[in-house]
Amino acid sequence: MNKKTTIYDIAKKLDITAATVSRALNNNPKISKATRELVLKTAQKMNYEPNKLAVALKSGKSNNVGVIVPRIDRNFFSTVIRGIEEELHPHGYHVIICQTHNDQDLEAKNLEALLNAQVDGIMISASNVALDENHIIHKIIQKNVPLIFFDRKKNIPGVSSVTINDYEAAYKATQHLIDQGCQHIAHIGGDRSIEIYDERFSGYKQALIDNGFEYKEDYVELVRSKVEEGKKAAKKLMKLNPKPDGIFSSSDPVILGAIQEMTAQGIKIPEDCAVVGFSNEPFTKFMELPITSVDQSPLEMGKITAQVFLEQVNNTNNVKVEKKVVLSPELMIRKSSLKKG
């Protein structure tokens, strides 16, 4: 393996001090133009590459930002990342992506690794379990590293977030099913200790109450966001009497599983049971039976998250910037929920 060229190698080659080489490479006006040009030319010939971590430590700026997501194989998260990159790239920033797989320990390790890498900011969609706010989050805030939550947030004073109105989204979805004539609407949700799932459950419940329907606990199943979990939930729900004639799910993969199970049982969608998902994953519109789903504006969410970061990092007055941006959801209505055509 070839040894990396250092400023000492350049200094030895030109018979000058390492300090002079360093100043020349950093365009110090105290160094003559001729010496600067000679040093740069020699550095190029010797394939010299500056130690980026050392430069970051010295300047306090690495031009890297960390983005932490539960999983990158979901269209929603990959599109948010695209939005962040599109917004930050023209400003010279590079994005380091980490996945947590909803594992609290891995999340903490990712945050620690990004801090050690001297990133200029961290954007995170929190995992399914509570962040260790007293330790790692406190450390990030203490070091004045901009931290922005998107999608899944924690309410921490001084920390910005970019989310959609999950309550309004769930209310709209449930209201749509009611408007289609559904009388027995079930909800397949997620872990309610996570704010987004709790908000989606609350929006569903309130829409029922506001329309004079009785809320029934039996019609609610809480599962993980997987196709298989949707199948299991539908199996349980379809044993109820009366059977649900409408289902609002907090996740597209879950509603896909539910559709597969109901179809296997000979239940017609939307005639027997109208369904609505959440996230507007690409498969929802390309299926033989396109699925109605809540669009979360991931590209816009990514761009705004990046803009909030830029506002914080470019703030020269040392004033704490805290923003709580809430985007309006849009219900993408397709065949899976149209009982009335």
Instruction: Give the distance from CA 55 to its chain's centroid.
Output: 29
Q: Is residue 125 predicted with pLDDT exceeding 90?
A: yes
In this predicted model, what pLDDT tens digit does every residue of 277-291 receive, in sequence order? 999 999 999 999 999
Whether the CB-CB separation of 81 and 97 falls below 8 Å is answered with yes
In this predicted model, what pLDDT tens digit does every residue of 39-69 receive, in sequence order? 889 988 888 877 665 555 555 677 899 999 9
Please choose, from the candidates 34, 43, 37, 36, the residue with its C-alpha nearest in 3D space to the C-alpha of residue 12: 43
CATH fold match for the domains 64-164+298-330 and 166-295+331-337: yes
- Structure tokens that stand for 256 in this block: 């896909």
170 falls in which pLDDT band (50, 70, 90)?
very high
How many other C-beta atoms can be found within 10 angstroms of the C-beta atom of residue 288?
5
Average pLDDT on 184-201 reads: 94
The pLDDT score that the predictor gives to residue 6 is 85
Average pLDDT on 180-201 reads: 94
Whether the CB-CB separation of 269 and 296 falls below 8 Å is answered with no
166-295+331-337 domain in CATH 3.40.50.2300?
Answer: yes
Buried b (16+ CB within 10 A) or exposed e, 37-62: eebeebbeeeebeeeeeeebeeeeeb
In whole numbers, what is the pLDDT of the chain averaged over residues?
Answer: 90
Q: Which of 7-11, 96-100, 123-127, 140-144 has the highest mean pLDDT?
A: 96-100
At residue 10, what are phi and psi to the nearest 5 degrees?
Answer: -65, -40
The superfamily CATH assigns to domain 7-50 is: lambda repressor-like DNA-binding domains (1.10.260.40)
Please choose, from the candidates 45, 42, 39, 2, the residue with its C-alpha nearest in 3D space to the C-alpha of residue 22: 39
The pLDDT score that the predictor gives to residue 83 is 97
Measured CA to CA, the distance from residue 306 to residue 300 in angstroms comes to 10
The pLDDT score that the predictor gives to residue 133 is 53
157 falls in which pLDDT band (50, 70, 90)?
confident
Q: Is residue 1 predicted with pLDDT exceeding 50?
A: no
Select the more confidently predicted residue: 4 or 42: 42
Please give the CATH number for the structural domain made up of 64-164+298-330.
3.40.50.2300
Structure pTM?
Answer: 0.80
Terminal alpha carbon distance of the chain: 68
Domains of the chain, by residue range, sit at: 7-50, 64-164+298-330, 166-295+331-337
Phi/psi-derived region of residue 30, left when phi > 0, alpha when psi is between -120 and 50, beta in every other case: alpha
Ranges 125-139, 163-177, 308-322: which has the least confidence: 125-139
28 falls in which pLDDT band (50, 70, 90)?
confident
The pLDDT score that the predictor gives to residue 79 is 96
